Structure formats: structure tokens, C-alpha cells
Amino acid sequence: MDNKGIAAIFEEIGNMLDINGADFFRVNAYRKGALTIGNFPLDLRQVVERNPQELDSIPGIGKALKEKIIELVRTGKCQEHEKMKKNFPPGLLEMMNLRGVGPKKIKLFYSRLKITNIKQLKEAAEKHKLRGLEKMGEKSENEILKAIEELGRFSSNRHLIDEALQEAESFIGYLRKCSEIKQVQYAGSLRRWQETIGDIDIIATVKDPKKSHAKVMDYFVKYKEILNILSVGDTKSSVVLQSGIQVDLRVVAEESFGAALHYFTGDKNHNIHIRDLAKKQGLKVNEYGVFKGEKMIAGKGEEEVLKTLGLPFIIPEIREDDGEIDFGLKHKKFPEFIELKDIKADLHSHTKYSDGKNSIEEMAKAFMACGYEYFAVTDHSSVMGVTGGMGTKEIKSQGEEIDKLNKKLKGRIRILKGCEVDILKNGDLDFNDEVLKKLDVVIISAHMFNRLPAEDQTKRLIAAVENPYSMILAHPTGRLINKRAEMEFDMEKVIEACVQNKVALEINANPNRLDLTDKYVRIAKAKGAKFVINTDSHSPDHLEYMKYGVGIARRGWLTKDDVLNAGNFSRFDSWF
């Protein structure tokens, strides 16, 4: 049972308790536990195996939840969860996946109309049976139908990148302990840092091709997290992990490792373009190497494969036949794309002043451990009541605390006073100018009114961008991957407004968001936009999300010159 599975079970327990009318604090304990575990950077299976007492250091995980984590890791089940599910219609929990449908509405639908699943809910909405219920009307009914249609568009067969990366790194760590394996690396969409991953592709070479293959495959299928073995062959085997992710292992000759890694990393269209390019040069390229007639002339390393075709090294993230091959042929070198080591700051973080789990000083120490030069504290504004947002009194108090900490930490890190200010329905911000002008960083975010018509949403966002104190537009589309669709608005017009008003666009590195997408990043870069890559961290554990944001930036062809927090504070401050 991996982190995602444990978090899902805790979320289910919390939802079942809520629908059944349980005590708020008990419900909240499970929901907070689910959020913490879902975002926890370490594999809890390894933590429990190493020392279960380490669970005591995880914020918000008390004795009861700790015992359940151990039970889930060791047995794959939770007795309390199993017992609750026996007396609970499973379809009620599925309805929790619908946007705008929470425990209160589910309880209402069930008690009044005996609705127990999404299909019945859809039929009731289509027959206009919902609009007669308390606090429901025609608009609410239509929104539920939209939410059902929206949910149907999300693929349950693709996994978030952080889950896939955690599984891949754990599996590869296991494979590296095999004495027969010489090289091993993951490839595919994971190596391209796509936001969601289908299967994990692993490429390996062995020390003795004549004797090692069978031993390696036998070792591969003995990995403890395997749910099902799909196939076992001489050079390829496939398994499905407990998390539901399929893993394919391919063993190749050492002289073909680079060719195989290139072939199984690039997407289909990239590989077709590469093959066509080779044909024009009288060559053949495949997963085994580059051939001139029957003679293999390259294949051991990716660089030599590409060089043989007249190309510079193409970073894995952009191997999707979106201009990278033509660019390489024309320019013979690529820009120096941004790297994780270039990041000097994080400008979107939360503390106990809103919905964060740690104090400002604790967050400062975590950012110092990352080697950052500065960071911004940007707790929510007051309109976000569900997050315990700040009013003017709290902002003043927080500012005084930051002043004291800056004196204490002088020379080690600089803390900026900020706020994640919500955009109201008419485009105004949640604080007046008198408050905003005293802040070092003003992040503007649209957390509410996400279902406005596209034209109204565009006007709303542009109005907020035009506020003279706006600095960063956070998670611009508002999406949650596999859960909530993007807001409908004219993205290009909003990007143009950001450029005109010197508002930076955020690449939100949280793997549930990864917002902006690489597509919009490239569009915005072409229009002259500047960016910041932020973790939107709510605890020190979330700081490692930065690598996912950098992955999106690289997919969007960004250099460190495009990213404001890839420079020192002076550069960041002077741009605004």
C-alpha cells in the first residue's frame, strides 16, 4: 500500500464519517491526514520498514492514524475501513469525485431521493428532480450535469508524475541491487516529465548477456510491490504494481543502450521524424542503434546517436516532435534550458497564518536547507475562509514577525512579506490598495467563481492583472489534474495583459496542478512573458515539488533568463 493508496483510504474514511454525520474533528483528522500523506515526499512503505517510530514526526499524524498506516503498509488493508464499507453504498463515495458535490449534498440526495450512484444522480438531474430540494435550483442541477460530463473526460489509467516517479525510483533502487545488472534507467513519458504517466519503461544492460538475462528477469518479478505478473521473457517482462502502474523492463545490449534509451524516451511522432531524417541520409535508426547498411555506426550513448544524424543533444523533456528536430538541424545547439540548481527562491508558500502546517521560521529553515537566497510568505487572504485566510490584522502581525525573523536570519536568507490575494467575481482583489502597497509580493489567484462564462472570466482575470499592485498570477487555469478542468477563458488575452502590466505567470509545481501547462508556457514565452516557478508549499515536505515545476519549464523551452526566481533578489525586485 503506497502513499496514494493510504491517502485515498483515509479520505474515504473521512468522507464516510462526514456523510454519516460524525464529529467534525474526527472527520477533519482523517482529511488532514490524507492531505499530508498524499503530499508526503518519502515512501511510507520504506519508512515503516526502516522504523515505524519515524511516523511520529509527521505533522498531524496521531496515534490512531499512525497505527492504521502501519496496518495498511503491512497488510494492504484497514479493518476499520473494511467494516465501514460493508454498510455503505459504494456509489456515494464515487459522487464525491464530482466538482461541487460534497457530503451534505450526497446526504441530501440519498435521504430524499435514494440516489446511491452517479448514474442515478444524472437521471435525476435530467428529469429535473434535484431542483426541488433544499438550496438546489435549475442552475445547481445544470452544474451537476456539467460536473458529471467533466468527470467522464478524466482518464483513470494515467497517474500523477510524483506517484510514478516515486514508484520508478523505488523499483530502480531495487534493481540496482541485482549483481547481474550493469546500467538501468527509466525512459518513456516519465523521463519527458509529462504531467501524467501511463506505464513506466525501464531500460537495463547486463554484465553477461549469455547468462544474466534469466537471472535479471527472475529478480525483476520478485519485487515486493508487484500485484500481477503480466509476462516474463528473455529481454522483456511486464508487471503491475500495487498502485496500478504497469512497469516494463527491457534488457538491451550495452552497445545499444543509448539507442534504446532514446527510442523509448521520445514519443511516437519524435521517433517517426528521427527515422525519416535517417532515411534521407541513407541510414537506419531503431532501438538497437544507427546503421549504415548492415554496419552499426552508433548506439552506445544518446549523444552519439543524435550526433550521427547531425543533431545536437535534445533534452528528454522536449522529444515530442514539436519543433525540436528542425531547431536542432538549423541551429546546431539548443538554449541552456533552466535546471533545478538555477532556482534561487520560492515565492508562493503558506504557514500557520492560513492553511500551512508550519511556522514562518520553520519554513525559513526548510528554504535555507534548499540553498535559497530568499522566499515569500504568501498566506491566503480572508475571503478564503475555508483556509483560515488573513485579514488586515493578521497581515500586520505577520509582517512584524517577518521583520524580527529577517533581523535574526540576516545574511542567511531573506523573507519577503506577501499574500495570496483572491480575485473577486468582478475582478477586484480581496484587499484594498492601502494593504497591497505594503507587501513585497502580491500573488493573485482565482479560487472561486471558476464556472463563469468564458467572456466574463476573461474580463475578470484581466481586471485583476491590471491592478497596479498585482505581481504574479498564480495557477492561472485553476485546474486540478484528473479532478477539475481548466477555467474557460481566453488564455492568450490574459497572457497579453500580463505582459503589458508586468505581471509574471506562475508555473505551479504542485503535481496536482502543474499549472501553467507546457503548451501555454511556450505561447507565453513567445509573447514576451516572464515566469516564476513556485511550489505553493504548505509544509517543508512540499519544497521538493520544485523539480516538477522545473520539468514543465524545460518542456516549455524556458531558460533561467525567463524565470524571475532563477535570479537573485535584486534581479527579481528590479523587474517589478
Helix axes 268-280, 324-331, angle to 10 degrees: 40
- Torsion angle defined by CA atoms of residues 384, 385, 386 and 388, in that order, rounded to the nearest 10 degrees: 100
> Do 430 and 395 meet the contact criterion of CB atoms below 8 Å apart?
no
> Do 341 and 537 meet the contact criterion of CB atoms below 8 Å apart?
no
Residue type, 90: P
Residue reference for cell 516532435: 321
Shared-domain flag, residues 566 and 495: yes
CATH of residue 239: 3.30.460.10
pLDDT at residue 386, rounded to an integer: 55
Shared-domain flag, residues 532 and 509: yes
Residues in CB range of 493: below 8 A, 6 or more apart: 458, 462
Domain count, the chain: 4
pLDDT at residue 156, rounded to an integer: 65
Domain edge (last residue) among 302, 331, 360: 331
Buried b (16+ CB within 10 A) or exposed e, 560-574: bebbbbbbeeeebee
pLDDT at residue 554, rounded to an integer: 98
CATH of residue 149: 1.10.150.110
Shared-domain flag, residues 35 and 78: yes
Domain edge (last residue) among 89, 121, 153: 153
CATH of residue 465: 3.20.20.140
What gap in Å lies between CA 29 and CA 377, rounded to an integer? 25
Shared-domain flag, residues 370 and 500: yes
What gap in Å lies between CA 212 and CA 252, rounded to an integer? 11
Shared-domain flag, residues 214 and 138: no
Dihedral of CA 426/429/431/436: which sign? Answer: negative
Task: Kindly state the cell numbers that stand for 238.
Answer: 511486464
Shared-domain flag, residues 479 and 565: yes
> Do 522 and 490 meet the contact criterion of CB atoms below 8 Å apart?
no
pLDDT, one tens digit per residue, over 526-574 is: 999 999 999 999 999 999 999 999 999 999 999 999 999 999 999 999 9
Shared-domain flag, residues 28 and 91: yes
pLDDT at residue 387, rounded to an integer: 60
Shared-domain flag, residues 482 and 379: yes
CA dist 252 to 178, 200, 206, Å?
Answer: 16, 17, 8
Strands 159-160 and 196-197: antiparallel
pLDDT at residue 83, rounded to an integer: 92
pLDDT, one tens digit per residue, over 292-303 is: 999 999 999 999
Domain edge (last residue) among 281, 298, 331: 331
CATH of residue 291: 3.30.210.10
Residues in CB range of 105: below 8 A, 6 or more apart: none
Shared-domain flag, residues 215 and 261: no
pLDDT at residue 24, rounded to an integer: 87
Outline where DSSP puts E strands in 488-548. Answer: 504-508, 531-534
Residue 516, preceding peptide bond in cis (omega within 30° of 0): yes
What gap in Å lies between CA 164 and CA 243, rounded to an integer? 9
Residues in the chain with pLDDT values less than 70: 155-156, 384-388
> Please, what is the Cα angle at 17 between 15 and 23, to 5 degrees?
125
pLDDT at residue 226, rounded to an integer: 93
Shared-domain flag, residues 398 and 299: no
> Do 164 and 197 meet the contact criterion of CB atoms below 8 Å apart?
yes
464: containing domain:
340-575
**Other C-beta atoms lying within 10 Å of the C-beta of residue 480:** 17
Shared-domain flag, residues 542 and 440: yes
What gap in Å lies between CA 294 and CA 417, rounded to an integer? 65
pLDDT at residue 558, rounded to an integer: 98
Residue type, 173: G
pLDDT at residue 155, rounded to an integer: 59
Shared-domain flag, residues 371 and 495: yes
What gap in Å lies between CA 251 and CA 237, rounded to an integer? 9
Closest CA to 549 of 576, 519, 505, 511: 511
